[in-house]
Structure formats: structure tokens, C-alpha cells
Structure 1
Amino acid sequence: MINAVASEWLKLRSLRSTYYVLASTLSALALTGFAAFSISNYFDTRGPGGEHIGTGLSFSADISPVLFGMLGVLAISGEFGTGMIRLTLTTIRRPWILLVAKAAVVAAVAAVTGQALAFATYFTAQAVVGGRPIGASLSDPAALPEILATGAGSAVAAVTGLGLATILRSTPGALIALVGLMLTPTATERFLPAPWNDWTSSLTISSLTRQLAGVPDSGAFGPSAASTILAGYVVISLFAAALAITRRDA
């Protein structure tokens, strides 16, 4: 298993797409800075009553899971496209070991990068806010938990993307499925009656991450239920991927 993890780490580092995706996550900082500036400007001109910035993570909450999901997709989809997956499975006789190794590597990279991005996003928002009472201090009850939970959400998104790419064996197909999985619940909630609209929008990884941290009014579930659903993303993704790769490619 250790050799398999080391091999997958080397593969991920050698992919140019890895660096492109990780660089793309910096767009979250730009979006957060722009949103924080706009809201701060509203506060300066019209006073209290506008939107509250808080940690600033909500402005890019739907972007990060998609990008880290792309990291998971591209970690394996290229091997299906070139046929290298057959050579890999010849070396690693048990497909589930390959999946676990890939999942461990992409989850670790996404968790570390996502955590660093979350802190950078928070400090970017607070730097723009300055002394205005519309930001959030790390001493606030839900601020630090929200930041720390972002790393876990990033890891879940990466493993989910890996599972989709393994099942579909197509980079475009997996990316389309990933975007649909991440964004469709939020887009469709307005067309559903209560309480289905709240439940549906609460099932996205970005929303579950905030619910895991106990952020007020972030969704229909509590931290325990949110952690269970996030774990379900990982388990279902890997289980379905293991079935697909064992029956089709092994």
C-alpha cells in the first residue's frame, strides 16, 4: 500500500493539470476580495443594513469544491484516455488498492491546499473589511470551525471527482457530472416546495461544510448529520468506483 501511495503521489506531481487546477483556486481570493470591497463600500456610503461579510468564505463556497473535484477527476481520467490504466492494474493486482491510494493522495493534497486557501480567503476578507463591524473574528463561535471544515470539504470533493472519473472513464463526462452534482441542487431549490428546497440545497458539499462547522442558518442539518452525509459522499463514490473498475477494467 505504501508503494502504491508513493507511486500515485509521483503521478499527481507529474501532471501539469494538477498545477493548473491548484493555481485556479486563487480565483477564490480575487472573488472574495471583490465581494468584500463592494460590501464594505456599501457600508461606508449607506451604513449598516447591507450584507454581512463574516469570514468571507461564502463568496467562493461553490467554486472551491468544483476545482478540487476537478483535481480528483484529472488524477485518473488521463490514464483511461491513454490506456495506461491497464498497465497500472497489471502492476497493482487489486483495483481497490489503486483507488484507495489515489483517494489518499488527492484527499491529502486537496485538504492541505483547501485549508491554506480557506485561511488566505479569510484574511483577505478581513484585510478589506478593516475595522468595519461586518467581518468576523477568529474568536467568534463559528468562524474558526468554518475555516477548518473547509479542508475536509475540499478532500471530500476531490475523492468524489476521482470516483466519478473512474465510473465514467471520460474527462469531459466526469467534469460535467461533477459540476452537475455540485451546483444543480442550489439551482433547483427555488423550484421545490418546502421543506424539500431546504433539504436539497443543504446536500451540496459547500453547504454541508458550513453545516459541519455549525454556521447558523447554513442548512437543514446539524454537524453530526452533515459529517455523516459528507462521509457518505466518500464511501459511495469509492464503492461505486471500485465496482466499476473491478468488473470492467481488472
Structure 2
Amino acid sequence: MAEFGRVVRSEWTKIRSVRSTLWTLVTAVLVTVALGMLISLVVRHSFDDLSREEQLTFDPTFTSFAGTTLGQLAMIAFGILVVSSEYGTGMIRASLAAVPRRGVLMFAKLLVATALALLVGMVTSFLAFFLGQALLGPYRTDLGEPHVLRAVVGGGLYMGLIALFAMGVTWMLRSAMLSFGVLMPFFFLISSILSNVEATRRVGNYLPDVAGSRVMSVIDDGDRPYGPWLGLLIMLAWVAAAVLAGYLVVQKRDA
């Protein structure tokens, strides 16, 4: 246990000493909150222009999370950099020499990075909600309304799980460039296309970001055949598969 504590402290030192990883978290907060505020303000001033159906199904909580689409890209970058920085510099050899048990090293990094990502995700989610609702004015909601607190907490969980998923994929690929090349187009383009095209929507609905984002909605638009918590579980299954695959790669491949 004492040895594991030292490994955890070492991983915390690695993360906070690399400025690029910390800046990705700052970017995630700023982009998510700022874009959510902007969209909330636009919706407030254009609400009367919405159709009657759109007004009846308006979800003020999800509106304040409009910036999550871009903010999650910064969380993905954080997950990639946390893992790839050691491979890019060759530090992974020194780390494995100091901690020969690869599972211990990986779990310690996961523990520290995931805790940090979840903390930032929760702060981001609550900030985006409160500031977004303030700008929505008469169309706002509050945490006391049914399912709103679940959606806000779910938003924080979503951001943390996105970073964890990126870590698992990067352990498989062991390259920042390759990980960015796979994950950024996947979340920014492919996932969006598959979930919005009628012919591929059934597949798109079960992708990690599409399924996980359901937990941030208070009003069910009927587009997905599952509820918020099941959607989060689907995302969690993707994350678990990515981390497990990453673990198997770490155990079998040379540094």
C-alpha cells in the first residue's frame, strides 16, 4: 500500500508538471462554459421565433451544456497527453524501471488522471448550468426541478469518462499523433454523421458520446431507445473496453 501511494504521488507530479495537460483542462472549462453562455443568450432572445413544438420541448438544462461538444475535445486532448507524454519523451522506460508492475503503474495514472478529470468535469458542468440559466432569464430552470440535478451531475461524469476513454485508446496506440488522428475525427465528425443520418442512426445511437450525452437531457426527445442512465452505462461499457484493451497492450508490448 505504501508503494502504491508513492506511485500515485509520482503520477500526480508528472501530470501537474506538464503544462500542456493542465492547459487542456483550463480550455475544457472555458470553452464549455463560454459557448454554453453564448447559446443560452441567443436562445433567450430568439425564443419567440421557435415553433410551438420546439417551445414545448425546450430543454433549458441541455441548452446550457451546448458547449460540451467542443469542451469534450479538450478533455480528449487531456486524456491523450496524460498517457502519450511518457511515450513521446521515452520516460516510460524509466517509469517501468521504477515500477516494474505495469498494472500498478497504469492504475495509479488512471486514478490520478480520472479523479482530476472528474473534478474538472463537475466544476465545468455546474458552472455551465448556473451561468447558462442566468442568461436564459424567464426560460430558465433550477436544480430543484425534476431530473435537473441528475443532468448536471451526469454532465460532469460525461466529461470525466470522455477523458478516461481517450486514455484507454492512447494506451493501445501509444502515440499522441495517432490518438489525435483517430479520436478527434471520430467524435467531431464520424459520430455526428452516423447519429444524424437516418440510415446509420441505429448504429450512431450506441456510440459512446451519443449514448453518454443522453444523461445531460431532462426532456426526452424520443430519438434514442434508452433512458439517461442506460445511455451512461453504454458509454461506461465503451470506456471499460478501451481501458481493458489498453491494459492488455501495456502488459504484452515492450516500452
The TM-score bracket by the shorter chain reads 0.7 to 0.9
Equivalent AA in structure 1 for residue 209 of structure 2: I
Asked if structure 2 preserves the Cα contact closer than 8 Å seen for 1:166 and 1:245, the reply is yes
Please tell me whether residue 28 in structure 1 is matched to residue 32 in structure 2.
yes
Please tell me whether residue 182 in structure 1 is matched to residue 203 in structure 2.
no
Asked if structure 2 preserves the Cα contact closer than 8 Å seen for 1:212 and 1:226, the reply is no
Equivalent AA in structure 1 for residue 148 of structure 2: A
Question: Match for residue 122 of structure 2?
Answer: 115
Question: Match for residue 109 of structure 2?
Answer: 102
**Between Structure 1 and Structure 2, how many residues are aligned?**
245
Please tell me whether residue 241 in structure 1 is matched to residue 246 in structure 2.
yes
Greater CA deviation, 181-190 or 67-76? 181-190
Equivalent AA in structure 1 for residue 191 of structure 2: P
Asked if structure 1 preserves the Cα contact closer than 8 Å seen for 2:80 and 2:167, the reply is yes
Distance 1:213 1:125 in 2: 14
Equivalent AA in structure 1 for residue 21 of structure 2: T
Equivalent AA in structure 2 for residue 95 of structure 1: R
Q: Deviations over 1:151-190 (max 9, x none)?
A: 2112211111111221112112111222233232222233
Asked if structure 1 preserves the Cα contact closer than 8 Å seen for 2:215 and 2:231, the reply is yes
Secondary structure, counterpart of 2:165 in structure 1 = helix
Pairwise CA distance, 1:244? 1.1
Secondary structure, counterpart of 1:59 in structure 2 = coil
Asked if structure 2 preserves the Cα contact closer than 8 Å seen for 1:153 and 1:206, the reply is no
Q: Deviations over 1:168-213 (max 9, x none)?
A: 12112111222233232222233342xx504513523354143377
Distance 2:34 2:211 in 1: 21
Q: Deviations over 1:199-232 (max 9, x none)?
A: 5135233541433776523732224532432321
Could you list the runs of 5+ residues in structure 1 that have no partner in the other structure?
none
Question: Match for residue 145 of structure 1?
Answer: 150
Equivalent AA in structure 1 for residue 105 of structure 2: L
Asked if structure 1 preserves the Cα contact closer than 8 Å seen for 2:59 and 2:218, the reply is no
Question: Match for residue 208 of structure 1?
Answer: 212
Q: For the aligned residues, what is the CA RMSD?
A: 2.3
Normalised by the length of structure 2, the TM-score is 0.86
Please tell me whether residue 2 in structure 1 is matched to residue 9 in structure 2.
no
Distance 1:121 1:225 in 2: 24
Please tell me whether residue 11 in structure 1 is matched to residue 14 in structure 2.
yes
Normalised by the length of structure 1, the TM-score is 0.88
Pairwise CA distance, 1:20? 1.4
Of 39, 42, 49, the residue aligned with 2:43 is 39
Of 118, 133, 140, the residue aligned with 1:126 is 133
Distance 2:203 2:192 in 1: 10
Question: Match for residue 191 of structure 1?
Answer: 197
Distance 2:233 2:51 in 1: 38
Equivalent AA in structure 1 for residue 164 of structure 2: V
Of 90, 97, 112, the residue aligned with 1:83 is 90
**Aligned residues with identical type, % of pairs:** 26
Asked if structure 2 preserves the Cα contact closer than 8 Å seen for 1:186 and 1:201, the reply is no
Secondary structure, counterpart of 1:112 in structure 2 = helix
Q: Which has the higher helix share?
A: 2
